[in-house]
């Protein structure tokens, strides 16, 4: 993978945005290696993501940022510039089911995940051996009805201590407190084992079975204070029929959960997701 800077922008739509950004980059003599644009014509918003060859930027990241500020202010941009040479650090939160954790650890071990899995936090000991096989520190933070505030405080102390960029709830069967959801907005990703907004909450495969659906799915989304209602990053489905039991649905669904979470996390790690309200623009490739 080339060393690139990733520029992402969201702002009210108006004439001249693309020309101003492209003109600035061209004026530096820099090279754009990937460009994505989207206009929300209903709400009048513009979204952009550029990958810029780092070696072509004179003065590097700091100089680019400083020179871009006047353009950002002129157009009222929400923007960020990140460096692909600094992979995002990931914390995996898990409970007892290890299929999503195992898939992400394997992808990371095979250098197929553009991030750094720094630690695993779990409310059970079940998955310790699996995590530690990959050389990833495993922290057991039990959660009970009586100790929830203290447990979540400890878990997110670990997140801060390890300089984590993104928390991934990889089938972590606990609901985060509202204050944590607010403090880490846009930095906590969950995999929910249904095709949201259908069957939110607990036991979605049971709900799907009782409803007699012909498709089941999984949803990767950002966590908010409203359960299973945050901005959606990625989704997929698989067909089921009247002969499938709840256990069959779980078996089939686990494969979908893994792939949806891996894709959604990759999009986040590569700065391909722009959050706008309770929706996302995802510049997938």
pLDDT tens-digit map of 134-145: 999 999 999 999
32 closest CA partner among 63, 75, 64: 64
User: Residues 77, 82, 87, CA angle at the centre, nearest 5°?
Assistant: 150
Range list of β-strands (E), the chain: 4-12, 32-40, 45-53, 78-83, 88-94, 115-122, 138-140, 166-169, 188-192, 215-222, 232-239, 273-276, 279-282
Mean pLDDT score, 250-273: 97
Q: Do domains 4-83 and 88-282 have the same CATH topology?
A: no
Residue 1's pLDDT band (cuts 50, 70, 90): low
Of the options 3.40.50.170, 3.90.226.10, 3.40.50.300, 1.20.210.10, the CATH number for the domain spanning 88-282:
3.40.50.170
- Separation between Cα atoms, residue 154 and residue 70, nearest integer Å: 41
In tens, the pLDDT along 46-96 reads 999 999 999 999 999 999 999 999 999 999 999 999 999 999 999 999 999
Mean pLDDT of the chain: 96
Fold of the CATH domain 4-83:
Alpha-Beta Plaits (3.30.70)
Q: Where are the domains of the chain?
A: 4-83, 88-282
* pTM as predicted: 0.96
Determine contact, residues 264/233, Cβ cutoff 8 Å: yes
- Separation between Cα atoms, residue 221 and residue 264, nearest integer Å: 8
Annotated catalytic residue, options 165, 228, 248, 271: 228
Exposure string of 88-105, with b = 16+ CB inside 10 Å and e = fewer, is: bbbbbbbbebbbbbbbbb
Determine contact, residues 203/223, Cβ cutoff 8 Å: no
Q: Decide if 228 is catalytic.
A: yes
Mean pLDDT score, 12-33: 97
């Amino acid at each position: 993978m080339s060393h690139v800077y990733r520029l992402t922008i969201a702002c009210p739509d108006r004439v001249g945005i693309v020309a101003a950004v492209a003109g600035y980059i061209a004026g530096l003599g820099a090279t754009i290696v990937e460009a994505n644009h989207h206009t929300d014509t209903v709400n009048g918003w513009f979204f952009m993501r550029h990958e810029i060859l780092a070696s072509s930027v004179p003065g590097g990241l700091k100089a680019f940022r400083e020179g871009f500020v006047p353009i950002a202010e002129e157009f009222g941009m929400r923007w960020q510039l990140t460096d692909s040479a600094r992979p995002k650090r990931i914390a995996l939160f898990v409970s007892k089911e290890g299929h999503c954790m195992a898939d992400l650890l394997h992808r990371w071990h095979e250098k197929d995940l553009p991030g750094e899995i720094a630690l695993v936090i779990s409310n059970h000991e079940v998955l310790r051996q699996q995590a530690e096989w990959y050389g990833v520190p495993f922290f057991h933070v039990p959660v009970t009805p009586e100790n929830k505030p203290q447990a979540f405080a400890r878990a997110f102390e670990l997140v801060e201590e390890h300089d984590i960029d993104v928390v991934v709830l990889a089938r972590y069967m606990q609901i985060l407190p509202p204050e944590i959801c607010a403090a880490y907005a846009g930095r906590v990703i969950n995999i929910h084992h249904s095709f949201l907004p259908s069957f939110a909450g607990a036991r979605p495969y049971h709900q799907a079975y009782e409803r007699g659906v012909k498709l089941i799915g999984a949803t990767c989304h950002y966590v908010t204070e409203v359960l299973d209602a945050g901005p959606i990053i990625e989704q997929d489905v698989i067909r089921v029929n009247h002969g499938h039991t709840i256990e069959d649905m779980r078996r089939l669904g686990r494969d979908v959960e893994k792939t949806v979470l891996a894709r959604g996390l990759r999009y986040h790690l590569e700065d391909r997701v722009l959050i706008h309200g309770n929706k996302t623009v995802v510049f997938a490739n």
